[in-house]
A and B are shown apart, each in its own frame.
Chain A
Amino acid sequence: MTRQNPPKLFVPPSAQVTLAASRRSFLRSAAIGGALLGSSSLLAACGGDSGGGGSTKTVKFGVNEAKDSGAAYQRMKGFADAYQKKSGVKVSANYVDHNTFQESITTYLQGSPDDVFAWFAGYRMQQFAEDGLLTDLSDLWPIDGMGDAFKAASTSSDGKQYLVPYDYYPWAVFYSKSTWDKNGWTPPTTYDDMITLAEDMKGKGLAPFAFGDKDGWPAMGTFDILNMRINGFDFHMGLMGGKEAWDSNEVKKVFETWGKLLPYHQEDPLGRTWQETATSLAKGEAGMMMFGTFIGDAIPDSVDDLDFFTYPQIDPSIPADSLDAPIDGFALASGGQNQDAGKAFLKWLGTAEAEDAANAAADAPMIGATPARARTATLPSSSSRSRSSRRPRTSRSSSTATPIPASPPPS
C-alpha cells in the first residue's frame, strides 16, 4: 500500500480546542456510562510479545491498538521497533483492541500493568494520576518543541505531569473533494446553509452525513460540537468538568437539535463501525462526516481526496470558533515493574525522532505533538486558511482547554 499524506490541516488561530478530551470521548462522559469498567485479564491476554518483566533490558509497552489493525497499529509498532533498535532494550509490546483497552484500563492499572502504556491527555489521565496509578513524569518536562498547551493537558490536579503527548487530532467535517467539485458544493458556514446543502445531497441520493456509532464513541464528537455551537465553549467545558447539569435546558436543546439533524445522518448507525463509516464517505455514499483527522487511518488511499471545514455556526450569538482537538500520549504505570527503563523509553517517545519512526512505519501518518513533527506531517489547507482567517481571534483559555499551535511553522 502506498504511503499517503494526511488530510491538510489548519486549526484556525481563533479556535478554542478541548484538549482535555480524549480521542474517543471525555472521561466524565465515558465514566458515566461505565465504559471504564472491565477486566485487566483482557489486556494481559491479548497479543503480547514474550519478554521478561523486570529486566533492565526489557520494557513492557501497553498499546491500545490490536495487531494488524491498520495505521495506528503500524505507528505503535514503529515506535517499539525503532526504540528497540536504537537502545538495545527489548520492547515487549502488548497489542490490545482499542475499545477493549479502554474498557479494561482501570483494573489493568490496578493489577500488573505494562510499564509504558498509550493513553489520553486531560481528564482521563488526571483521574488515574489522582488515584496514584501513574508515575510522575515532571522530570521529563519541558519537552523540546511542545508548548504550554500540551504541558497543561499533561498536568494533573497536583501540578505534576503524567503524560508524554505524541499526537493530536482536531475534529471537523470531512468531505470528498471530487464529490463536492462534481456537484458544485461549498462548505456551509451557517446552520441554514448546512441544511440547504444536506437537502441537496439527499435529493442526489447521498446521505448528507456519514454516521456510525457501533464503537460507542464516534457520536460523542457530534454531541461535543453541537454543545459548543449551541451553548458555547465555556458551558461545554463546564459540563465536561462536572460543573453543569446534564438535565439542564441547555443540554436538552443540544439533543433537540441533534434529533432534528438525525434524518440527515445515515440510518442504523449502531450497526456501523467508524471505519465502515469513513469508507462510505470515500465511496461517495455520503456527503460529509464529522470526525477526527485520524479518519485517514481507515481510508489511506483516499486521503488526498479529503478536505474539511469546521462545523458551521448554529446560534448567531455564538461564533464557530471552538472545536475538539484531543491529545494522545504515553504514561508510565506506577505498578509497572521497570520504572527506569519505562522512563527512558518515554523520554525517547517525546522526540521528533520517535514520531518520524512511527510515521515512517505506517500507511497514514499522525499529526505530531511538536511543531517540528507537524512540519513533516501536515501542510495548511489554503481553503481552510482563507476561511478561518476571517474569524475573529479570541483569547479565552483555561487550564483544561487552551489554543494549540494554529499551524505548522514554515519548513
Chain B
Amino acid sequence: MIPSIQTFLKNPSDIDGLTKSIQEQKVSIFGS
C-alpha cells in the first residue's frame, strides 16, 4: 500500500492501474 500511494503521488493519473495493483496485492495476501 505504501509504495502504491507513493507511486500515486508521483503519477496521479493512472488510477485504474493503481487500484487494480492494490487489489491484486490484497488478494495475494489475504486471499479474497
Contact = CB atoms under 8 A, between A and B. Distances in A.
A32 to B, nearest CB: 4
B1 to A, nearest CB: 4
B10 A220 contact: no
Given A246-B22, A246-B23, A247-B23, A31 B2 contact: no
Interface in B1-32: 1-6, 8-10, 12-13, 15-16, 18-20, 22-23, 25-26, 29-30, 32
Contacts of A34: 3
Contacts of A256: 15
The residue among B1, B4, B15, B20 with the most chain A CB atoms within 10 A of its own CB is: B1
A259 B2 contact: no
A287 B10 CA distance: 22
A258 B6 CA distance: 13
A246 B19 CA distance: 6
B2 A28 contact: no
Contacts of B29: 31-32
Nearest to B22: A246
Given A242-B30, A242-B32, A245-B23, A30 B12 contact: no
Contacts of A185: none
Given A25-B1, A247-B19, A33 B9 contact: no
A335 interface: no
A86 B15 CA distance: 55
B20 A35 contact: no
Contact of A246 (B6, B9, B12, B26): B26
A252 B5 contact: no
A213 interface: yes
Contacts of A213: 5-6, 9
Nearest to A223: B5
B10 A270 contact: yes
A252 B1 contact: no
Contacts of B23: 245-247
A53 interface: no
Interface in A3-51: 25, 28-35
Interface of A: 25, 28-35, 213, 216-217, 219-220, 223, 242, 245-248, 251-252, 255-256, 258-259, 262, 269-270
